Structure 1
Amino acid sequence: MKYITVRGFKHDVKNPPNRRKSSVLFILQRVVDQGRLGIALLIFPFLVAAASVQGVNAQSEVEKGLEIAQKARDADRGFENFVAEMVMILRNKQGQENKRSLRIKVLEVSGDGNMSLFVFDNPRDVKGTALLIHGHLTKSDDQWLYLPALKRVKRISSSNRSGSFVGSEFAYEDLGSLEVEKYTYKWLRDEKCGDLDCTVTEYKPSEKGSGYTRMLLWHDKDELRVWKIEYYDRKNAHLKTLVHEDYEQYLDQYWRSKRSNMVNHITGKSTEILWDQIQFRTDLNEGEFTKTGLRRVR
Structure 2
Amino acid sequence: MKKQYLFGLLLSLLSAAPVFAQTPEERGLEIAQEADKRDTGWQDMKANMTMILRNRHGQKSQRKIRMRGLEILDDGDKSLSIFDQPRDVKGTAFLSFTHATIPDDQWLYLPALKRVKRISSKNKSGPFMGSEFAYEDLTSQEVERYSYKWLRDEDLNDRATFVVERYPEYAHSGYTRQVAWVDQAYWQPQKIEFYDRKNSLLKTLVYEGYQQYLEQYWRPAKMHMDNHQTGKSTILEWQDYEFRTGLTARDFDKNSLKRAR
Partner of 1:29: none
1:144 and 2:107 aligned: yes
Query: Normalising by the residue count of structure 2, what TM-score does the alignment of the two structures yield?
Result: 0.91
2:212 aligns with: 249
Q: Tell me the alpha carbon deviations over residues 47-76 of structure 1, each in whole angstroms, 9 at most, x when there is no partner.
A: xxxxx98xx56x610000000100111110
* Structure with greater contact order relative to length (CA < 8 Å, sep ≥ 6): 2
Alpha-carbon distance in structure 1 between the residues aligned to 2:185 and 2:127: 33
C-alpha distance in structure 1 between counterparts of 2:103 and 2:208, whole Å: 29
> Is the helix fraction higher in 1 or 2?
1
Residue of structure 2 equivalent to 1:130: 93
Task: Write the distance in 1 (CA, Å) between the matches of 2:251 and 2:135.
Answer: 20
Q: Which runs of 5 or more structure 2 residues have no equivalent in the other structure?
A: 1-16
When normalised by structure 1's length, the TM-score is: 0.80
Q: Distance in 2 between matches of 1:262 and 1:144?
A: 23
Aligned length: 247
Q: 1:140 deviation in Å?
A: 1.5
Query: In the alignment, which residue of structure 2 is the partner of 1:202?
Result: 165
- The residue matched to 2:74 in structure 1 has which SS? coil
- Structure 1: which 5+ residue stretches go unaligned? 1-51
Q: Does 1:104 align with 2:67?
A: yes
Aligned to 1:264: 227
After TM superposition, list the pairs within 5 Å mapping 1:1-298 onto structure 2: 60-298=23-261
Which consecutive aligned stretches of 4+ in structure 1 deviate over 6 angstroms post-superposition?
A: none
Give the % identical residues. Answer: 55
| CA–CA separation in structure 1 for the residues paired with 2:127 and 2:170 | 18
Equivalent AA in structure 2 for residue 167 of structure 1: G
Per-residue deviation, 1:120: 0.2
1:81-104 deviation per Cα after TM superposition (whole angstroms, max 9, x unaligned): 110000000001121110100010
Provide the rounded CA distance (Å) in 1 between the counterparts of 2:256 and 2:65.
Answer: 17
Q: Tell me the amino acid that sits aligned with residue 187 of structure 1.
A: W
Give the aligned CA root-mean-square deviation in angstroms.
1.7
Superposed displacement of residue 283, structure 1: 2.1
CA distances 1:211-264 after superposition (whole Å, capped 9, x unpaired): 100000101112211100100011101000000000000010000000000000
The letter of the residue matching 2:149 is: K
Determine the structure 2 residue equivalent to 1:36: none
